[in-house]
Structures are given as structure tokens and as C-alpha cells.
């Protein structure tokens, strides 16, 4: 029997509960499962009082649902970083939902021809697929925002769009996505396994301890001398003590996230080297004041050269109004838009070819990750076998 109650007090829930189990013997109730609202705890307290009064018996108290606590801990951890991953994934969903115009514009420039997946903060098992798809299509999302800002696409710049625009300006957004994904992938099997009607409670404590140990060791946040050998030690550990933290250089963000950071560092080094070379060449032929007029932060070498040509042309005529507007210039300006679109199409094709070449490397990285995961699982299985053998010997 299933009973849905809207606004209800603990007494109302208890009354509905008795109606559902009226054919059962209350003296044989072993345990009641529930999540964590205060009204549920009051209901459980009243039930315990009734059982003790009528049958001199109380149900086993194991606390509220451990899966809710684990998932809420994950949400709290994500929220405490200030990265707003959940808000970004939600905004990505709402930006293209029920908007045929946006969807058409997005597909026009998309290389994968795929959209986001629905994301809901309270649905445990939707975290992994949603963030995986966001990572896959993020380059297309960046291109879409850039085209909107340039006026190529016209759209209502609502809150969802502004959230996505801000995220596209974050150079480390993919790193943050992968950290979120690593943790979500780690806890997902646990949530799936224990979302069952089977009597799995005796194994819950050991498995949650292994999960916490794995996360601590995976990210290498704390010094290696702190070993979480039991649930009691883990519960007493002071995670706020900065003296127990590892040095920043030893902390890992996960295999993929670490590699992305390394690539960004290399890219920055190569950019700085190129920028210094461009500036040195410019300084050899023009003064510092002229360089200051044309330089803009993060400007590529081609842009420096183009602006230098424009500055030299204006200087040769004296003033801007003295420049003659020829038919050749009019034709060039008229076709500039078409040339820009052709340039975007060429970049899109180059991006597709680059993605195909990198596909093999991505598969290889995934294989390495799966091998490491397999080794961890084999170690856990071996440990469980030894524990089973020891317990069997003690029983005999």
C-alpha cells in the first residue's frame, strides 16, 4: 500500500503508517528506513515509544539514508569550491530547451551535432552523463557564445546565457569539469549498488570507508602518514587542520585534469615566447609609443602585423579623412563578411581533423585509467578474500 501525504505532521505520518501495516505484526518490526527531514525523525521517535509501550520492543536505529548523506556531501563539496558546476550544467540545459532558433544556430556550427543532457541536482545518477556530454560539446558552446557576442547569432541574453558566457571565459573550466567527473564516477557505482532492496546494511560501513580512503588517496590531499584504517579514525580526523595537508605540488586533480593543466602551462609558455619575439621585431622598426597604441592583451601575431599595416597607412596620409575611398576598398569591405565566414568554416574543418587525430590518444588515456582502476579493484577483492578466509578459520 502506497500513501502520499502533502503537508503533514509526524502524527499524521504515523497514522498513515499504521494503516499501511495493519495486517503485519508490529512486534516483528526490525528497522525503518527513511531520509533525513526532522518530521521523519519525530515520526520514528513516536513509533519507538509505541513499540516500547505495547510490545516492550524497539526497532533498530541506523540513522537516516546513507545514500542521501553521501550525495548531499558531494553537492556540498561542489558548492564549497565556488565553481558553480551544477549551475553551469543547469543553465546549459535551459539555454537550448524549447528554443528552436538557438538549437538551429548551435547545430549550424557544431562539429558533433549533439546537445546537452538534462541535469537535475537531486537525481543522483544524472551527474556523470550530464558532465560528460558538457565536456564533449564545450568547444561548440564556446563557438556559439563567441558568435552571439559578434552579432552572427541573435538571442535573448537571459540568466542562463550569462552563466554560460561567464563559464566560457574561464580558462580552467574543463579542469573543473573533469574534477567533478572524477568524483562523480567514483561515487556512482556505490550509489547504484546500495539503491537496492537486498539486505546490504552489514557491508555499508566497510564500503563507505573504502570509498573515502580511495578519494583521499586518489587526490593525494593529505600527507601519506595519515592512514584511515578504520571508520572510527576517519570520523575523528580533523579535515580542517591545514597542517595535515600535502604540499600543493603533490596534490592531484585526477589523471585527465592534471594533463589539461600541463597543456595550459605549455601553451602559456609558448604564447609568451611568441609575444616577446613579435614585440622585439616591432621595437626594432618603430618606437615604444607607437607599439603602445596598437597592442592589446592576448593579441595574436597576425593581429599585430595587421594593425601595424593600418597604422602605417594612416600615418602616410596624415589623417584618416585624407584616405581615398576607392572601388577596390569598397569591394573588399563588402566581401569581408563572406571571407570571415569562410575562415570560420576552414577552422571548423581543421578542428574536426584534429579531433579525429586525438581520438586514439583519448582512447589510450581511458585504457590507462581503466587499468589503474582494475588494479585497485583486484586489490580490494584480494583483501576481502583474505578477510573471508581468516573469519572462516576463526569460526572453525
Domain extents in the chain: 1-61, 67-296
pLDDT, the chain, mean: 78
Instruction: Please tell me the distance from the alpha carbon of residue 396 to that of residue 394, in angstroms, as a whole number.
Output: 5
Q: Is the confidence at residue 136, as pLDDT, over 70?
A: yes
% of the chain with per-residue pLDDT over 70:
83
Q: How many alpha carbons lie under 13 Å from residue 112 in its C-beta half-sphere?
A: 15
User: Which of 218-225's residues contact partners 24+ apart within 8 Å by CB, and which partners?
Assistant: 218/182, 218/186, 218/252, 218/254, 219/251, 219/252, 219/253, 219/254, 220/246, 220/250, 220/251, 220/252, 221/245, 221/246, 221/251, 222/246
Q: Is the confidence at residue 14, as pLDDT, over 50?
A: yes
Tell me how far the alpha carbon of residue 328 is from its chain's centroid.
51
Look up residue 357 and give its three cell numbers. 587525430
What is the model's pLDDT at position 273? 59
Question: Picking from 55-69, 353-367, 380-394, which range would have the lowest pLDDT averaged per residue?
Answer: 353-367
What is the model's pLDDT at position 18? 85
Question: 32-69 pLDDT, tens per residue?
Answer: 877 767 788 888 888 888 888 888 888 887 777 778 77
- The H or E element containing residue 46 is helix 38-55
- Torsions phi, psi for 316 (to 5 deg): -70, -30
| Nearest to 164, CA basis, from 179, 147, 152 | 147
Amino acid at each position: 500500500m502506497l500513501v502520499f501525504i502533502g503537508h503533514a505532521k509526524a502524527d499524521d505520518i504515523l497514522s498513515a503508517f499504521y494503516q499501511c501495516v495493519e495486517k503485519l505484526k508490529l512486534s516483528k518490526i526490525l528497522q525503518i528506513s527513511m531520509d533525513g527531514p526532522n518530521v521523519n525523525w519525530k515520526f520514528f521517535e513516536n513509533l519507538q515509544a509505541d513499540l516500547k509501550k505495547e510490545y516492550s520492543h524497539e526497532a533498530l536505529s541506523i540513522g537516516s539514508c546513507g545514500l542521501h548523506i553521501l550525495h548531499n556531501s558531494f553537492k556540498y563539496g561542489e558548492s564549497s569550491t565556488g565553481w558553480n558546476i551544477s549551475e553551469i550544467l543547469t543553465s546549459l540545459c535551459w539555454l537550448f530547451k524549447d528554443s528552436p532558433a538557438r538549437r538551429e544556430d548551435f547545430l549550424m556550427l557544431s562539429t558533433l551535432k549533439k546537445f546537452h543532457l538534462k541535469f537535475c541536482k537531486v537525481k543522483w545518477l544524472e551527474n556523470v552523463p550530464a558532465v560528460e556530454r558538457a565536456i564533449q560539446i564545450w568547444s561548440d558552446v564556446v563557438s556559439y557564445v563567441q558568435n552571439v557576442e559578434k552579432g552572427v547569432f541573435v538571442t535573448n541574453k537571459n540568466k542562463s546565457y550569462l552563466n554560460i558566457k561567464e563559464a566560457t571565459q574561464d580558462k580552467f573550466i574543463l579542469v573543473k569539469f573533469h574534477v567533478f567527473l572524477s568524483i562523480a564516477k567514483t561515487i556512482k557505482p556505490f550509489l547504484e549498488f546500495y539503491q537496492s532492496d537486498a539486505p546490504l546494511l552489514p557491508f555499508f560501513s566497510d564500503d563507505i570507508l573504502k570509498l573515502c580512503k580511495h578519494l583521499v588517496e586518489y587526490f593525494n590531499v593529505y600527507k601519506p602518514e595519515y592512514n584511515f584504517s578504520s571508520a572510527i579514525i576517519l570520523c575523528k580526523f580533523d579535515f580542517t587542520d591545514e597542517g595535515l595537508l600535502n604540499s600543493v605540488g603533490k596534490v592531484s586533480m585526477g589523471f585527465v585534469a592534471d594533463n589539461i593543466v600541463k597543456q595550459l602551462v605549455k601553451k602559456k609558455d609558448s604564447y609568451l615566447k611568441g609575444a616577446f619575439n613579435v614585440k622585439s621585431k616591432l621595437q626594432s622598426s618603430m618606437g615604444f609609443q607607437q607599439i603602445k597604441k596598437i597592442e592589446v592583451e592576448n593579441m595574436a601575431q597576425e593581429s599585430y602585423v595587421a594593425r601595424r599595416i593600418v597604422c602605417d597607412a594612416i600615418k602616410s596620409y596624415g589623417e584618416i579623412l585624407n584616405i581615398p575611398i576607392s572601388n577596390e576598398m569598397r569591394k573588399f569591405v563588402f566581401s569581408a563578411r563572406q571571407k570571415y565566414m569562410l575562415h570560420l568554416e576552414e577552422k571548423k574543418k581543421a578542428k574536426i581533423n584534429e579531433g579525429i587525430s586525438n581520438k586514439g590518444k583519448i582512447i589510450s588515456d581511458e585504457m590507462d585509467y581503466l587499468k589503474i582502476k582494475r588494479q585497485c579493484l583486484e586489490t580490494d577483492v584480494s583483501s576481502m578474500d583474505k578477510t573471508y578466509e581468516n573469519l572462516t578459520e576463526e569460526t572453525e
